[in-house]
Structure 1
Amino acid sequence: MKPFQFKQFIIHQDRCAMKIGTDGVLLGSWVPISDEMNSVLDIGAGTGVIALMMAQRSYAETIDAIEIDDQAYEQAVENFEASDWGDRLFCYHASFQEFFQEIDDEYDLLISNPPFYTDDYKTDDSTRDMARFEDALPFEHLFIGVSHLLSQKGKFAVILPYKEENKVIDIAKGVELYPQKITRVKGTPSSEIKRSMMLFGFNEVLVKTDELIIENSRHQYTEEYIKLTKDFYLKM
């Protein structure tokens, strides 16, 4: 499998069940970045693409990632070391549950494109199914861990199936995390909303909501999508 070439880094992904997809790149492009942000944690790193995007977009000194799968972990480490930002990137080989129970550090930004599982994801590839299976990290565990690791002014960004949006807002509220920004993603103007990109924090504010459409028609990308991803995709 050929490596995936971005404008400022390369991703090798032959050993990862979860290949580069629109979700991760969208989330890494969309998440608001501030100058005060010193530390980032990518939960469920896969290839390491989101952590690398954070290194490209921010001056954060600490950009950590966690990955439980052996092969994906090794590949993320290699992708980090091959980049221009190897000294700021570090990957832990652990489950998120182990990690948040053992680590006392706090992060200014937590970000996750978590494995989720719906009926339409059943494939012939059991490794890929495992990577998609939400039992690997139920939303409850995700938000409990996030609430432990997030600094007081920190933010948590996540991309999820749109149909999970209300359930996740309820779970987050249980650990005093509240949605602050929600962008709902559609493939085309006429298709249904497929994903929600959500930003959470500890203070309740008026939620900013908007919509992002990826294509007007096949391979005719919308201006918004191009503007969002042009720093990363070669052909944008």
Structure 2
Amino acid sequence: MSNPYFQFKQFTVWHDKCAMKVGTDGVLLGAWASVRNAHRILDIGTGTGLVALMLAQRSLPDANIVALEIDEAAAGQARENVARSSWKERIEVVQVDFKKYQSSAKFDVIVSNPPYFIDSLGCPDQQRNSARHNDSLTYEDLLAGVAGLLAEDGTFTIVIPADVADRVKMIASAKRMQAVRQLNVITKPGGIPRRTLITFSFANQECIVEELLTEVARHQYSKEYVALTREYYLNM
């Protein structure tokens, strides 16, 4: 049986009640997304609460984070993880379908590690299926909602499969959002990017594209990956 929790330097994430466990995608998003000068942050599809906790660790002391989760069990566990953390007064976990979520105030930063297996075979576990597949929250739905909630000078950062990056950029462009930062993630030397992180904004500026190799050998992390995640991982 896998460990029911994951210990980070400043917080612990229990994930035994969540379909999607703590993984590299979430850690990359939590470590790479900019929260500079952000006072209101929205995490769409928080799952265990991992990304919300990571952003709370390095955001402004008065930054408030709303973490949305559609699954009841995951939302409950995210609340428990937040309650055990040092930032419980700054993070609000809301169980809601993002397509129905409304806010009177805009957000400076929005992040999402969304369902990503398009048109792939569903798995028997319905909870895991909902977390992994984007049948219930398409990229079109996600980006339309983000466009309505993002402050004019805000940013939206997403982690997605590399092979859908162009499609997501096209959808975002139709909502006036342009890619301004992109990180292509390679898991082994000589490999091709499997994951991409993209930051969008309403500003029309050139996109800065970078590449990150996570491992130089099996279980041997690159110095760039260590530098990115050392404030979180115990063994970095």
- Give the TM-score normalised by the residue count of structure 1: 0.95
Alpha-carbon offset, residue 143 of structure 1: 0.6
Q: Which residue number in structure 1 is paired with residue 49 of structure 2?
A: 48
**Higher mean displacement: 116-125 or 87-96:** 116-125
Alpha-carbon offset, residue 49 of structure 1: 0.3
User: One-letter code of the match for 1:175?
Assistant: K
Are positions 1:230 and 2:193 aligned together? Answer: no
User: One-letter code of the match for 1:82?
Assistant: R
1:121–1:129 Cα contact (<8 Å) kept: no
Q: Which residue number in structure 2 is paired with residue 194 of structure 1?
A: 194
| Richer in helix (by share) | 1
**Higher mean displacement: 43-52 or 131-140:** 131-140
Are positions 1:13 and 2:7 aligned together? Answer: no
1:116–1:132 Cα contact (<8 Å) kept: yes
Q: Unaligned regions of 5+ residues in structure 1, if any?
A: none
- Where do 1:51-90 residues align within 5 Å? 51-59=52-60, 60-90=62-92
Please give the secondary structure, in 2, of the residue aligned with 1:135. Answer: coil
Q: Distance in 1 between matches of 2:114 and 2:132?
A: 8
- Where do 1:37-186 residues align within 5 Å? 37-59=38-60, 60-99=62-101, 102-118=102-118, 123=123, 125-186=125-186
Q: Unaligned regions of 5+ residues in structure 2, if any?
A: none
List structure 1 runs of 4+ shifted beyond 6 angstroms: none
Q: Which residue number in structure 2 is paired with residue 212 of structure 1?
A: 212
Among 23, 31, 34, the alignment partner of 1:32 is: 34
From the superposition, tell whether residues 207 and 107 of structure 1 become closer, same or farther in structure 2 (CA, over 3 Å). Answer: same
Percent identity, please.
39
2:47–2:75 Cα contact (<8 Å) kept: yes
User: One-letter code of the match for 1:61?
Assistant: A
Q: Distance in 2 between matches of 1:156 and 1:145?
A: 11
Alpha-carbon offset, residue 125 of structure 1: 3.6
Q: Distance in 2 between matches of 1:173 and 1:10?
A: 37
1:121–1:132 Cα contact (<8 Å) kept: no
- Give the TM-score normalised by the residue count of structure 2: 0.95
